[in-house]
Amino acid sequence: MTLTATSKTIFQTSLVICVRKPLVFFSLVIGSMSLLVVLHPAAGQDAGQVKRSWMISGAVARGLTEGSVATEPATEKQTWMADISETEWMYIIVHHSATESGSVESIHADHLNRRDANGNPWLGIGYHFVIGNGQGMPDGTVQATFRWKEQIHGAHSGMSLYNTRGIGICLIGDFQQNPPSHAQIASLKQLVKVLATRHRITPDHFMGHAAVKPTACPGKHFPLNEIRRVISRSAS
């Protein structure tokens, strides 16, 4: 009997057997490993006599799947649609948290203690989106806040125009000290591309916070032009 196997990466678990005399075909999928096996009976042995020769032990199956986790970048299929009809946004303003760690929840709790120029308390987190760095939120995770879900103004720029017509995106981290993680950049590019395409936002309307207010935000290590080029490509 000859055993021939080929493999490819997929994300499911299944077992399919097909008997076509004098051959036996079966596809065994375990975790992320897919095996296509063809059994060739020895001379004088028909397919009906091939019994259990293809079976593997549980230990072998565990060995095939150990360390193989079926993962897919969250950003690939995200559209980040709001819960209601979306506002006609004109700008995207990017920020850093200027902290080593953080999350939507921690920023929300901090911003609840803030007041605007008229002394009115903030509604909560001022950004529409937050992207984690692995400390407080998984690295590269994009989370929409209540402001995006409900399509209401932001509280992130310090200027009325950019708060009411600008989408505020905050990346966790202090980019005066270190650059964003690779996962954060990848997620931000995808998010910006989706939002800019949907709302016809031009490259010159993608800004760092420092473009609208005297501040170091989003930090000297933030690759602003690299992200801006994503909009240029998506618009072409």
CB 136 within 8 A of CB 170: no
pTM recorded for the entire structure: 0.67
The number of domains in the chain is: 2
Would you call 48 helix, strand, or coil by DSSP? helix
Residue with tokens 């920020």: 95
What are the tens digits of pLDDT across the range 202-217?
999 999 999 999 999 9
186 shares a domain with 105: yes
What are the tens digits of pLDDT across the range 130-184?
999 999 999 999 999 999 999 999 989 888 899 999 999 999 999 999 999 999 9
215 shares a domain with 112: yes
Would you call 87 helix, strand, or coil by DSSP? coil
Q: Residues near 132 by Cβ (< 8 Å), separated by ≥ 6?
A: 103, 138, 139, 140, 141, 143, 172, 184
174 shares a domain with 60: no
What are the tens digits of pLDDT across the range 29-55?
444 444 444 444 444 444 344 333 333
- Answer with the residue of higher pLDDT: 192 or 118: 192
Phi, psi (rounded to 5 degrees) for 89: -75, 145
CA 29-32-38 angle, to 5 degrees, is 35
116 shares a domain with 230: yes
Q: What is the CATH number of the domain that holds 166?
A: 3.40.80.10
pLDDT at 107: 96
149 shares a domain with 43: no
166 shares a domain with 200: yes
Q: Could you tell me the residue range of the domain that residue 153 belongs to?
A: 91-235
In a domain, 79, yes or no: no
9 shares a domain with 52: yes
222 shares a domain with 178: yes
